[in-house]
Structure 1
Amino acid sequence: MKSHIRAFVDDYLGEIIEGSAAIFAGAGLSVPAGYVDWRELIRPLSEELGLNIQLENDLVALAQFHVNASGANRHKLHKAVIEAIAADNPPTENHKLLAKLPIQTWWTTNYDRLIENSLRAAGKVVDVKSAVPQLATTRPRRDATVYKMHGDVDRPDEAVATRDDFERYPKERGAFVNALAGDLVSKTFLFLGFSFTDPNLEHVLTRVRLTFANNQRRHYAVFRTRTRLAEESEADFEHFKLRQTFVIDDLRRFGVRVLTVDDYAEITEFLRELVDRYKRRTVFVSASSVDFGGWSEKEVDEFIQTLGRSLVAKGTRIASGLGVGIGDSLLSGALREVLKNNRTVDEALILRPFPQAVQGEDTAELWERYRQEILSHAGIAIFLFGTKDVDGALALSDGMRREFEIARSQGVAVLPVGGTGGMAEVLALDAQQDPEAIVPELGNDGRKIIEGLQRRPESPSELIEPLLQAIQFLQGGKK
């Protein structure tokens, strides 16, 4: 990954954690899903006018020309919007990745439903704003708000498309301008698939720049490095390549830093990095023990409480099913740190205590769904001890084995602490045998890290430091 993109990931991840990140999506984000860009959408209208769309730069004017030639009748323009966008094409991988992030504010000039559909597929409650009256209402318990500032495919008669529409925009849809200006001041935007030729956005950016001068918030945009097109002359290519450098430089006036990529696949790569690193802020703790690994109950209690306190102190959120013999200690340690730093419980803990009293044929299915759900929140899973009582005899925890398997199937990085014995030791031995397959996230240090956690110390508390170092390694996004 390029150094300037890695620096962006570090910065934007911080904004996501703080709840200050926003997305602005342009047509380029929707094209890979099978939708056409604005140029292709109005190509039939251009042909009706006898104009070559490839020679046109002002596409808003072209849409206006067609309405003028039709006696102010917008029917064909509306029809073009519906025919090009009405189908519910499936979201792209980039949409799916973005939807996994806890980003609450989304802006777009697109008419399609890709953003809201991908958010809903991720289980989120979405509040869509495509008309001014909708700005005055708020959907209860919303996870994300999507502002469709140019309208929606369901309301093609209200789509902002012609020069008339843009000229009337401040009067008829000025509330969107005010809302966007406010978000540009309070949030850090990532512009994706956007060419910065929209006059409404330019107006808002200018307003923010003039108001805040040298105190503008930093934003980011992604541009693909200009490459030579088929049948494009060398002179034309050099012209447009140079022009792109001037556009990138000019955007700095508005606090927009451009991230250049050579291929659009790089966008998917850094979005996946963002998702992985965000999820790794949540650590799933799989632990259960009935013999405490041969240590005293007091030693294990101190070890688990210290682990809970240490994880929360470093800004990590703990997810746990509160395993037998371990859960209370983990919860006690974590809660002490939560109260000490005036954090909310929800910020620090995701608790899914297993309903031990449940009996019946559907118990296994219930527990499986329980495990799948809680692990979906985590990016790292650690495994401690792993023993249980079966008819008075000590046995390895098959539930821990299943949680390990689910974690790997979901792409969760695993850290079996073999030094605690039990099933955790079995899992650690497996990881040592094939670190590239089981702990690939640890890179070349995988076997060394697992071996460090495999050693059995005199006191379990001696495992705290190497375990926290391994977690920090994974949370740092190192490969």
Structure 2
Amino acid sequence: MSRNRTRFLKEFPKAISDENAAVFIGAGVSVGAGYPSWKELLREIGDELGVKSDDVYDLAALAQWSVSDTGGATRIRQVIRDQIAVDHDIPAPLNILARMPIRHLWTTNYDRLIERALLAIRRPCSVISAQGDLALKVTAGAARVYKMHGTVDQLDEIVISTDDYELFRSRRGAFLPLLQAHLSSFSMLFLGLSFTDPNLRHVLSLIRESFTDAPPAHFAIVRPPQKGDFRSAEEFEARLAQHNLWAKDLQRYGLFAIEIEDYDEVPGLLAEVERRVARNRVWISGSWPLDEATTPEVSFVHDVAERVGGVVGSSGLTLVSGSGLLVGSGSMSGFLSSLQKTGAWDLERRLIVRPFPQPIEGGEPDRAQWDLLRAELARLAGHVVFIGGLKAEAGALVDSSGVHAERAIAQAKGAYLLPIGATGGAAATIAAELIGSDLRFDGPDALRPSDEQLASLGDASVGAAELANRVLKILKSRML
């Protein structure tokens, strides 16, 4: 299982960066947010039928018994509406997943947690909950939420009873080829699944149908049964044995189980995935006063920015930029030139730009808006390269307070700080502060280069091309 975790942390972030990842959200995520489990959801229905839902293994059959007993699904839909059509707090795992560039999110849950997590950060999403929705055009650039068993907003379409499962192919079969295509071409993370989930056998059968000789690796974060979950040691041992056999059997479907002791571990595990995705993104931060644009120093700074942007592009990394007039434009120019040379015009995925709105002459910038943009850039990027960082103030050149603010935000977010001290300004100040500092400089959790590397980036005599090569060497050592 530890090997599975290592493989997951290596392969799934890369799949996300390459836009070859999808997620399947199971009932456990909703239960963790406060929604009832299947047994709890159907307890009232069972009581009405004189059956304890805890004693029924096939809960879809229990729902079917209610439909047959009452002559329709009105009663069970009423129970679902009362218990699911409420807004519980969005759990941390969904907030993290919503922030990552994952376009396809599948679920068998009826609640609105996934779409609420996306909308909370103003990320557009297209909810596909009925077979007819698959024919509709989705919002360009939106995340797609496939609710293959329906949604609480359309109770007449939900899958709950034995009839619904047996007639799935005729009523909702258009979901199947799409899910199978995603299982065949994407690496999929299953979150919140349990071998007691009545939907699981349905999903696993679809995986089996789409299985190829060399499928992409799929992963499932699962929690083994714990002693405190059961009334007796015998019941715990029996359930644990079932779980272990089930987890091992998942590999038959190309699924690798990542076991956790407690659901509280999930946010940390997903946050590590997010950090590793961010490692493929480089934010180039810097500035230079335009009044000084004719000095030799500005030519050097622009040359360094352009060459660093070029090595970011040629190494397959993503450029993050605030689109400044000198450092920003120089880095983007080098980045685009490198893509032109390779023919890899992949701008939608590999260039993330958040231009800072500039005030009209004599006006003041919107500092609050700038702070929000800086926070977003710091969240997106795992590495921040500082180039230059000067401004004119009272007739003198001083360190840019904006670049120092970006350093503080990036450091608070856990980004790797990479100042090119040879370019002067705030970059030189940051480099001097990092040399000998307590920030870690070795291992996968490093937050800065070593003192020797920082010193090498402070040597302007080697020229812009060599400084860019040294930056590239450091970045390559940290790539996924």
Q: Offset at 1:192? A: 0.8
Inter-CA distance 449–347: structure 2 relative to 1 (3 Å threshold) = farther
Number of the residue aligned with 1:79: 78
Matches within 5 A, 1:444-455: 448=451, 451-452=454-455, 455=458
Number of the residue aligned with 2:423: 420
Q: Offset at 1:195? A: 2.4
For 1:368 and 1:439, the matched residues in 2 are separated by: 30
Number of the residue aligned with 2:285: 286
For 1:250 and 1:125, the matched residues in 2 are separated by: 37
Matches within 5 A, 1:122-201: 122-195=121-194
Q: Offset at 1:376? A: 4.4
| Letter matched to residue 379 of structure 1 | G
- Report the identity percentage: 33
Number of the residue aligned with 1:244: 243
Q: Offset at 1:210? A: 5.0
Number of the residue aligned with 1:114: 113
Q: Give the count of matched residue pairs.
A: 474
Q: Check the 8 A contact 2:190/2:221 in 1, yes or no.
A: yes
Q: Check the 8 A contact 1:436/1:446 in 2, yes or no.
A: no
Number of the residue aligned with 2:9: 9
Inter-CA distance 447–435: structure 2 relative to 1 (3 Å threshold) = farther
Inter-CA distance 450–213: structure 2 relative to 1 (3 Å threshold) = closer
Inter-CA distance 400–450: structure 2 relative to 1 (3 Å threshold) = farther
Q: Check the 8 A contact 2:417/2:447 in 1, yes or no.
A: no
Q: Offset at 1:179? A: 2.5
SS in 2 for 1:64: helix
Number of the residue aligned with 1:18: 18
1:90-122 CA deviation, whole Å, 9 max, x = no partner? Answer: 211100000111111111110000001111223
For 2:42 and 2:59, the matched residues in 1 are separated by: 8
For 1:371 and 1:359, the matched residues in 2 are separated by: 22
Number of the residue aligned with 1:402: 405
Q: Offset at 1:273? A: 1.0
For 2:440 and 2:5, the matched residues in 1 are separated by: 27
Matches within 5 A, 1:373-392: 373-390=376-393, 392=395
1:429-468 CA deviation, whole Å, 9 max, x = no partner? Answer: 3334653499998549766367445643522444334433
State TM-score, norm by structure 2.
Answer: 0.88
Q: Offset at 1:214? A: 3.0
Inter-CA distance 9–466: structure 2 relative to 1 (3 Å threshold) = same
Q: Offset at 1:399? A: 2.1
Please say if 1:435 is aligned against 2:434: no
1:213-272 CA deviation, whole Å, 9 max, x = no partner? Answer: 534443211221232245543333222222222212322222222222222233222210
Give 1:359's match in structure 2, choosing from 347, 358, 361. 361
Please say if 1:269 is aligned against 2:268: yes
Number of the residue aligned with 1:62: 62
Q: Check the 8 A contact 2:150/2:159 in 1, yes or no.
A: yes
Name stretches of at least 5 consecutive residues in structure 1 with no aligned partner: none
Number of the residue aligned with 1:463: 467
Q: Check the 8 A contact 2:418/2:448 in 1, yes or no.
A: no
SS in 1 for 2:51: coil
For 1:358 and 1:450, the matched residues in 2 are separated by: 41
Name stretches of at least 5 consecutive residues in structure 2 with no aligned partner: none
Number of the residue aligned with 2:318: 317
For 1:472 and 1:427, the matched residues in 2 are separated by: 22
Inter-CA distance 215–234: structure 2 relative to 1 (3 Å threshold) = same
| Letter matched to residue 321 of structure 1 | G
Larger displacement relative to structure 2 (224-233 or 89-98): 224-233
Matches within 5 A, 1:41-56: 41-56=41-56
Q: Offset at 1:303? A: 3.1
Q: Check the 8 A contact 1:22/1:104 in 2, yes or no.
A: yes
1:60-82 CA deviation, whole Å, 9 max, x = no partner? Answer: 11222223332x23333112111
For 2:161 and 2:455, the matched residues in 1 are separated by: 65
Q: Offset at 1:314? A: 1.4
Inter-CA distance 240–359: structure 2 relative to 1 (3 Å threshold) = same
Inter-CA distance 14–358: structure 2 relative to 1 (3 Å threshold) = same
For 2:443 and 2:15, the matched residues in 1 are separated by: 28
SS in 1 for 2:174: helix
Larger displacement relative to structure 2 (49-58 or 324-333): 324-333
Q: Offset at 1:27? A: 0.8
For 2:419 and 2:370, the matched residues in 1 are separated by: 21
SS in 2 for 1:147: strand
For 1:226 and 1:398, the matched residues in 2 are separated by: 53
1:369-402 CA deviation, whole Å, 9 max, x = no partner? Answer: 5544544432322212222333543222222122
Q: Offset at 1:470? A: 3.7
For 1:209 and 1:300, the matched residues in 2 are separated by: 56
